[in-house]
């Protein structure tokens, strides 16, 4: 994705101004957005100073804080087939510093996810079609949303999709959860089968500025086809990403790849530093859990009027660079053997390097 146009540069300058504005109101923030020469195109790069952004939104820790103030995250995912993905997402949130991490999954998946870690709170409330009679669907669907609603207002961010599967009844229930999250103004990071759901039901997120979509190559392709009704064009990739985000009403899109590109239809940023050549499955789950935490932190600043830029964009940038650093650390030690759990074990070390506790 090397293309960019004059309008993109203008938007990029707007981003720099925004971040400069942020700088005025927060002593921790470094406004530098590096407009360095693009390696590929010879023009200005979209690479942002992701480390400064990460530092600016990561809260300092002190003894006056109570449980929950550093973030309460919930992952909606986990079914008969998939149990690892929601675990990776939820545990990553804790390892970064969230205080509480929940998982809402199917009854089959719950004991397994619980057994991975006693640190998670796992709610076995979802059902797949194979276990539900048609005449019970309405009542079960109502019960699912009732259970989630008990908790909804306590959550700072939801992650929708890791290990969700594609069962139609389950996806209907998850659509309801997303509608209620939106009514309650709870941000959502949407990945994996959550993107399958959203690509087929764009209204679930259209125009919701607190939604982040995190597509990989194939998921991005399907989104472009559905929204822009064309194929992915990497010659003009930046413009296309802007159009896509704008086309869904200003949601934030984190396009994963060799470099990650982030846009909410107003600006495009990229994060290309660090990373690993290992492509083991599960890294997207670390990203979704991480972005959820950083969004919740960024929104704490936003609530104090300290941000003039979207918390979903800042959270995506911070989540991206943290995963890339942790993956690099893990690869340094484990090489070809690197698994997702190895990367998760380096989230803490990476965050400490960027943002020491004692700063």
CB nearer a copy of itself, residue 44 or residue 257: 257
Are 129 and 169 in contact by the 8 Å Cβ rule? The answer is yes
Under 8 Å CB-to-CB from 39, ≥6 apart: which residues? Answer: 45
**Residue 117 contacts a copy of itself per CB under 8 A:** yes
Count Cβ atoms within 10 A of the Cβ of residue 218 and give its class: 0-12 exposed, 13-18 middle, 19 or more buried: exposed
Output the smallest distance, CB 121 to a copy of itself, in A.
7
**Residue 177 contacts a copy of itself per CB under 8 A:** no
Q: Which stretch binds a copy of itself (CB under 8 A): 39-47, 93-101, 181-189, 199-207?
A: 93-101
Among 79, 100, 177, 204, binds a copy of itself (CB under 8 A): 100
Output the smallest distance, CB 116 to a copy of itself, in A.
5
CB nearer a copy of itself, residue 47 or residue 108: 108
Among 22, 29, 88, 297, binds a copy of itself (CB under 8 A): 88
Q: Which stretch binds a copy of itself (CB under 8 A): 62-70, 133-141, 167-175, 312-320?
A: 62-70
| DSSP per residue, 39-79 | TTTSSB--B--HHHHHHHHSPP--TT--TTTT-EEEEE---
**Residue 320 contacts a copy of itself per CB under 8 A:** no
CB nearer a copy of itself, residue 136 or residue 203: 136
C-alpha atoms less than 13 angstroms from C-alpha of 99 in its C-beta half-sphere:
15
Output the smallest distance, CB 122 to a copy of itself, in A.
7
Q: How far apart are CA 264 and CA 269, in angstroms?
A: 10
Output the smallest distance, CB 289 to a copy of itself, in A.
13
**Residue 122 contacts a copy of itself per CB under 8 A:** yes
Among 14, 37, 68, 233, binds a copy of itself (CB under 8 A): 68
**Residue 324 contacts a copy of itself per CB under 8 A:** no
CA distances from 242 to 236, 255, 261, 269, 322 (A): 10, 11, 10, 10, 24
Count Cβ atoms within 10 A of the Cβ of residue 220 and give its class: 0-12 exposed, 13-18 middle, 19 or more buried: buried
CB nearer a copy of itself, residue 210 or residue 291: 291
Output the smallest distance, CB 345 to a copy of itself, in A.
9
Q: Which stretch binds a copy of itself (CB under 8 A): 202-210, 240-248, 280-288, 311-319?
A: 280-288
| DSSP per residue, 250-277 | S-EEEE-SSSEEEESSS-EEEE-SS--S
Number of H helices, E strands in the chain: 13, 9
Q: Which of 68, 286, 79, 74 is nearest to 159 (CA)?
A: 74
Are 77 and 105 in contact by the 8 Å Cβ rule? The answer is yes
Q: How far apart are CA 210 and CA 183, in angstroms?
A: 11
CB nearer a copy of itself, residue 115 or residue 200: 115
Give the interface with a copy of itself as residue ranges (CB under 8 A): 61-70, 80-85, 87-88, 94-100, 108, 111-112, 114-124, 216-217, 258, 275, 277-283, 331, 334-337, 339-341, 347-349, 351-352, 356-357
């Amino acid at each position: 994705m090397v293309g960019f146009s004059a309008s993109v540069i203008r938007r990029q300058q707007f981003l720099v101004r925004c971040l400069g504005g942020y700088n005025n109101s927060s002593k921790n923030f470094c406004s530098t957005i590096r407009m360095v020469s693009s390696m590929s195109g010879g023009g200005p790069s979209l690479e942002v100073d992701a480390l400064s952004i990460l530092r600016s939104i990561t809260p300092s820790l002190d003894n006056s804080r109570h449980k929950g103030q550093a973030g309460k995250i919930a992952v909606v995912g986990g079914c008969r087939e998939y149990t690892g993905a929601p675990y990776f997402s939820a545990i990553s949130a804790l390892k970064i510093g969230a205080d509480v991490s929940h998982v809402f999954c199917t009854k089959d998946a719950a004991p397994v996810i619980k057994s991975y870690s006693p640190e998670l709170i796992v709610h076995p409330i979802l059902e797949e079609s194979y276990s539900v009679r048609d005449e019970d669907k309405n009542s079960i669907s109502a019960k699912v949303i009732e259970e989630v609603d008990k908790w909804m207002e306590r959550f700072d961010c939801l992650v929708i999709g890791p290990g969700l599967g594609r069962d139609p009844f389950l996806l209907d229930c998850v659509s309801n959860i997303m509608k209620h999250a939106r009514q309650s103004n709870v941000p959502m990071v949407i990945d994996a089968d959550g993107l399958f759901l959203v690509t087929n039901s764009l209204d679930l997120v259209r125009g919701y500025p607190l939604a982040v979509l995190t597509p990989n190559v194939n998921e991005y392709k399907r989104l472009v086809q559905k929204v822009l009704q064309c194929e992915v064009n990497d010659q003009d990739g930046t413009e296309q990403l802007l159009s896509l985000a704008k086309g869904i009403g200003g949601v934030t899109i984190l396009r994963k790849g060799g470099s990650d590109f982030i846009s909410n239809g107003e600006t495009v940023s990229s994060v290309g530093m660090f990373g690993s050549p290992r492509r083991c499955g599960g890294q997207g789950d670390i990203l979704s859990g991480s972005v959820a935490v950083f969004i919740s932190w960024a929104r704490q600043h936003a609530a104090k009027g300290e941000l003039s830029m979207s918390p979903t964009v800042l959270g995506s940038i911070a989540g991206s660079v943290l995963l890339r650093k942790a993956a690099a650390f893990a690869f340094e030690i484990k090489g070809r053997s690197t698994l997702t759990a190895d990367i998760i074990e380096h989230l803490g070390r990476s965050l400490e390097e960027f943002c020491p506790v004692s700063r």
